[in-house]
Structure formats: C-alpha cells, structure tokens
Structure 1
C-alpha cells in the first residue's frame, strides 16, 4: 500500500511540475492535457484522478510552482527579523529577483501569461498566496519611509521596486522568443543586478523620507 501511495504521489508531482512549466510557456488556453501528460510521462486518467479537470490542474500547478520557489528562495532573503529595516527590505528584493531569474521558476511567468490572456481562474489563489508577501513588502516600505509618508508615496515606491524586478522577467521572455539572443551583458550578472535594484531603491526611499521629515519637524 505504501509503495502504491508513493508511486501515486510521484505521478502527481510530475504532473504539477510539467504543468507549471507548460502553462508558463504557453499560457492556459494553448496548453493541452496531452502535452502535460507526455512531459510528465503520465496518462490522462491520472490527471482526472488527481485533479479532476484542467482548471484545477492550472490552479494547483501555480501553487506548486510558487511554494517550490519560496522554498528555494525564502522571501526574507535569509535576513534576520532583528536586522535593520533596510537590510530586511534588501533581502526581500534580492529573494524576489532570484526567483524571477531562476530558469526553473514558473509562477511569475504563469501570472504574466494570465495578464496577457486572462482566465480569471487565478484571482482567488493569487489573493490568498501573494497578498501576504505583498503586505510584508508594504510593511517594510512603511518602516523605511517613516510615519509621515503618504499612501501615494508608499504605492509609488512599491511600484518602482516591482517594475525594476519584473524587467528581468520581460527580458527572459524576449530571450525565450528569440533563443539566439542572449540576455544583455549588463543583465547577465544577476547578483550585480540585484545589488543595483537594492541600492537604487534604497536611495530613492531615503530621498522621499528626507522630503517628509521637515514637515514633521515644523509641526
């Protein structure tokens, strides 16, 4: 019984891994159960057994990819919760970039495909899984910016950081569309790119914070 359970679990894991890869490459509409099963070395009956339908497989494949990536690259970047806030924010940015850069990371690519061809299937799961990570980022930004920062400043800082990070995803997708072209040389060193995003973001945050401090002093 144990051997049968282990075999079933391995089949389920192969299906999730193959599905996340194919959904990331083709999007939901253009991905087929047949392609996923061929890559996972499984039969269509196993998809019906484990997931019931393509929609459920899509949701579970995204969750599988997302949780795997968080396991590989913890969202805090390995920085202690007792570290200064700028170090904690730096760790979170670097973790995000590492996840985006990893060729075996698929959750962000699936989201990008979803934005281009919306199915609305991921809305609930994204709210449940991603929102906690987003709120932690906002919490660090509030701490960095200070209590006098406006909600608009907070939103803009978050958008600026995410825009820099997702530039890497866009470049990767351009490279996949044209495999003969390598990443630009200034983007091939992921460590250096991550450091730049951290330095650039923290410098901007400090500048905004310095603009709000006089208001507090005058009060």
Structure 2
C-alpha cells in the first residue's frame, strides 16, 4: 500500500482468508498500530520487533480502522500540542457537564474536531483521557495561582494566611482560574463529591501539599503545634469556606438576591473569610491556653424522631 502523502507513516496489510476467521497481519508505526489495537479484540498479539499485530477481526472492523486512519484530518500525523489541547479542553467541558460515565469518546472527538483514533493515540483510552484532563485542570489552576504565590519575606503568619485565602478565591472563582474554563468547576465538584481512582494522583501532587502549607501557617499563627485534632478542623474550615463560595455561588445569589458578579468581590470575600478565620483561631487557642479544654457546646436533649 503506497504511502499517503497526508501522513508520515506507511501501513502494510496482509489478509489470510484460509482460516475460520479472516486473519490480518499489518505492520505500522505507533499511530496506525494504536488505531487497530483499540478497535480489535483481545486476541490481537503484538509483535514488538516489527511493531505489528496479528489479529482475527471481522471485515467491517477492518474497514472502520482503515477509514479512521486514511480519512483523518491529519490529527495523528504529527502529535502537536494544539491537538492535545483541543482534546483536553473539549473533554474537560464534557466530563464536567455529563460526568465520566455519560460522556463518550465520540462526543469528545466531535467537540474537539478530531477523530477517535487521535484520542486513542494521545491518551490510549477513556480512563487515560479523564486522568489527563484532571491533571491538566489542576495544573492550570495551581500554576496560575500557586499555594505560595504572593507570599513575601517578612510577612507575618497572619498576612500569609490572607494571601493564601485570596489565592484560593482567585484559583476557584476568577476568569483566570477554574471559573474561566467551561465545565471545569463542575468536574472538580464531581471529584470532591465522588472521587475516582484518577483523583489519587491529584491528592498527592496538589491537594496534600496545599493543605500542608496551610497547616504550617496555622502553626506559626498559634505559636506552637496544637496537634492534628486542632489543626485539621481549622484547615478544613478555612478551605471549606472558600469552596462553598465557589460551588454554591448560584444558591448564594438566590438567597442574598445579590446578582453582582462574584469575581468583582473576590478581594472582599477573601478578607471576610480571613478575619472570620482569625477570630476562630483566637477563640480556640485562647480556650486552650486557659485550661487546655475545648469549649463545650450547650447541653440539649436529643431530637425526637416522630413515627
């Protein structure tokens, strides 16, 4: 089969009809091999030395693979960053709006203006694409607004906390952060509510270091390490306030009647959460300094469950 001038690879196909199931032997570079590898049954056996497959496939599958390969729009001929970025952007939007199960590779390919084989080439499968989208989204957010971004030498721990909270609001709600990417906020919300296996890598690379830096600031404000039973609720409370403003913004607008853009009030909101958090930290540490006892809630009877 002659080389197609639109592609920088050549595919050789040999068909053996003297078997119960037509047998196909083809030799091709990675892009072509991946197209067939994703579309054929598990009986395909890779021959590493020749970058080949020996497959038992139905004729219609063979024609589909050839059609995908030679009628493509050049998406696989050169693995350019722009192709991957289009796929990641489209997938982030669709995964965010529809969820992992409901989203389809075909729908993502159509939205990204690529063929399905291009997605298989760059990301192998749907799970690989989803993991890459999560990494892409969190990398963008924490690159533009890093946890330690804006922290300067000589700042007090209290000032560092203000910068940390402000960075969270801008990462979550600004047009330069996750709010500016269609579907990305919903994608993150879905992961926080029901984490997938792909979220484990995000926890290790972004979430845990983010939380650990916050606990460093809290220890500096308190003046000692009060232990995880105090630090963890403090950290979760601070982060939780920021996240609620981000993911419950439509509800907050309905409750308050304030239709002004949330982005216009990010500095104001960050300052309020900062002051509120400092007040909570002071109350807890003052009580501990007095008698090392946590404030006890008022004694109230257990609620009665009516039949």
Q: TM-score of the superposition, structure 1-length normalised? A: 0.81
Please tell me whether Structure 1 or Structure 2 has the larger radius of gyration of its CA atoms.
2
Moved more, 55-64 or 182-191: 182-191
Q: What residue ranges of structure 2 are gaps of 5+ in the alignment?
A: 1-7, 9-75, 293-307
Q: How many residues align?
A: 210
Deviation of 1:86 after TM superposition, in Å, equals 1.1
The structural deviation recorded for 1:148 is 5.3
Q: In the alignment, is the contact (CA less than 8 A) between 2:211 and 2:235 conserved in 1?
A: no
| Structure showing greater relative contact order (alpha-carbon pairs closer than 8 Å, 6 or more residues apart) | 1
**Change in CA separation of 1:92 and 1:48 when aligned onto 2, cut-off 3 Å:** same
Q: Which residue of 1 aligns with 2:15?
A: none
Instruction: Give the Å deviation of 1:21.
Output: 2.3
**CA shift for structure 1 position 174:** 5.4
Q: Distance in 1 between matches of 2:247 and 2:94?
A: 18
Query: Separation in 1 of the partners of 2:257 and 2:91?
Result: 29
* Offset at residue 56 of structure 1 (A): 0.9
Alignment pair present for 1:73 and 2:145: yes
1: CA distance between counterparts of 2:115 and 2:254? 36
1:167 maps onto 2:237 in alignment: no
Q: Which runs of 5+ in 1 are unaligned?
A: none
Question: 1:172-218: per-residue Cα shift (whole Å, max 9, x none)?
Answer: 4659xxxx9698528832221111111111121122222333469xx
Aligned twin of 1:201: 277
Q: Does 1:42 align with 2:119?
A: no
For each residue in 1:10-45, what CA deviation from the matched residue of structure 2 results, as whole angstroms up to 9, or x when unmatched?
101111122222222222112222222222222211
Moved more, 35-44 or 183-192: 183-192
Report whether the alignment pairs 1:29 with 2:82. Answer: no
Residue range with higher mean Cα deviation, 185-194 or 8-17: 185-194
Normalised to the residue count of structure 2, the TM-score between the two structures is: 0.60
Which moved further from structure 2: 157-166 or 99-108? 99-108
